[in-house]
Amino acid sequence: MKNTFGQCLSVTLFGESHGEAVGAVIDGIAPGIAVDKNEIERQLSRRRPSSALDTTRVENDEFSILSGVFEGRTTGTPLCIVIKNGNTKSGDYTYGVARPSHADYAANVKYHGCEDYRGGGHFSGRITAALVAVGGILLPALEKKGILIGTHISQCGKEKDRDFDNILNDIVTLKNASFPVLGEDAQERIANEILAAKNSLDSVGGATQTAIYGLPAGVGEPWFDSVESVLSHALFGIGAVKGVEFGLGFGFAPANGSRVNDPIRTEKGRVWTETNNNGGINGGITNGMPVVFRCAVKPTPSIAKEQKTVDFIKNENTTITVGGRHDPAIVRRICPVIDSVAAIAVCDLLAQRYGTDYLAGEEPVCSSV
């Protein structure tokens, strides 16, 4: 099992849903980056269940940084962060009866029956807490370089939020929002959509929209290490993400070039485009405009309705009604996860372009230097 993403700055995930803890190791991180535990806690709180719209499994997300930080700054050595599990109910899970649209059967085949099946084990959304903790370190570091990342619910079921408008202001708004939407009435409409799915013993999918503001032009490589490729690679590591599109995305398909090409202008030495249909990327490389993308988020596969499945131990057909504690929609809680995953990918891209010390700034920050 390989659990590492990144070339210059890499993140390795570990842990299981009902194991002792989940966590991550950041390798290749620059020395001298300030680490604020309050910021890590703030990011984790954005992901944590907080209402009837979420799962009833609420973890305190008590975390420890075991290595890589000294006197409040990164040392440049591998940074290991661990988040304890506590509120587990392993008796809710039965081995051998595959839950539809979960990894139960695929994991059993790949790992020869040695996998931890409780709560989905290593394939659980619980592991995303470690990604969000990493984001609590990398997102503030990027912000100090003028690079901001924000994600909102673009759609949930049939209900939609407005798109990004003034991207910088919208990202600031999302940073302080308990419910990640931009439109005035979007929260109520989307909340009602989620509650309707919950009340019918079902779940509902959605989509998110993310903007990365402040990335300089010239980041990324053509072809296989394009900005789209690297971000998509990281984003598809989130199990609920089933589609990614940049800028206008599939909206390009029915369009004419005369309508969707981005007119290029210059003013006071700055080159910019009048529209941003390409999502801030040309030829796999950033063009200085905000990078904008959407993710399709599947409905939570654990639902209380009866579904057809197999018992792969007995090798026979059966049915299942999934018990346990699950979100009727993942789309709200996935927003800080996407922010954090995007931050990991961006930090790796920046390290490849400018060197691994880019996030630390140019001046020594440690008293021993």
pLDDT-derived band at 17, boundaries 50, 70, 90: confident
- 3-state SS of the chain: helix, strand, coil percent to 5? 30, 25, 45
More confident residue, 302 or 1: 302
- Cα–Cα–Cα angle for 39, 45, 51, rounded to 5 degrees: 160
Q: What confidence category does residue 220 fall into, taking pLDDT thresholds of 50, 70 and 90?
A: very high
pTM for the full predicted model = 0.94
Q: pLDDT at position 38, please?
A: 97
Which residue from 204, 66, 178, 174 is spatially nearest to 130, judged by alpha carbons?
66
Tally of CB atoms within 10 A around 286? 23
57 vs 211, more confident: 211
* Whole-number pLDDT of residue 172: 96
Average pLDDT over residues 209-233: 97
Gyration radius from the chain CA atoms: 21
pLDDT at residue 219, as a whole number: 98
Least confident of 27-31, 121-125, 308-312: 121-125
In this predicted structure, the answer to whether residue 62 has a pLDDT above a threshold of 60 is: yes
Report residue 66 as tokens. 């075991």
Show the beta-strand stretches assigned E in the chain. 4-5, 10-15, 21-27, 63-67, 69-70, 73-74, 79-84, 148-156, 159-160, 206-213, 241-246, 264-267, 270-273, 281-282, 285-286, 291-297, 307-311, 316-320
**Mean per-residue pLDDT, 164-188:** 95
When pLDDT is averaged across residues 206-226 and rounded to a whole number, the result is: 97
**One-letter amino acid for residue 242 of the chain:** K
- The DSSP string of 133-195 is HHHHHHHHHHHHTT-EEEEEEEEETTEEPPPPSSHHHHHHHHHT-SS---STTHHHHHHHHHH
184 has pLDDT over 50: yes
pLDDT at residue 362 above 70? no
How far is it, in rounded angstroms, from Cα 188 to Cα 47? 19
Q: pLDDT tens across 311-356, in order?
A: 999 999 999 988 767 789 999 999 999 999 999 999 999 999 999 9
DSSP code for 106: H
Could you give the CA distance from residue 336 to residue 48 in angstroms, rounded to a whole number? 10
Average pLDDT of the chain is: 93
Q: If pLDDT is split at 50, 70 and 90, which confidence band does 91 have?
A: low
Mean pLDDT is lowest, of 71-80, 223-232, 323-332, for 323-332
pLDDT of residue 364: 47
Per-residue pLDDT for 363 more than 60?
no
Which tops the pLDDT comparison, 236 or 323?
A: 236
Q: CA 133: distance to chain centroid?
A: 11
- Domain 4-360, what architecture? 4-Layer Sandwich (3.60)
- Residue entry with tokens 């950033």: 286
Domain ranges for the chain: 4-360
pLDDT at res. 317: 97
68 pLDDT more than 70: yes
Q: Is the dihedral of CA 187, 192, 198, 203 positive or negative?
A: negative
Residue 369 has pLDDT above 60, yes or no: no
pLDDT reading at 88 higher than 50: yes
pLDDT at residue 368 greater than cutoff 70: no
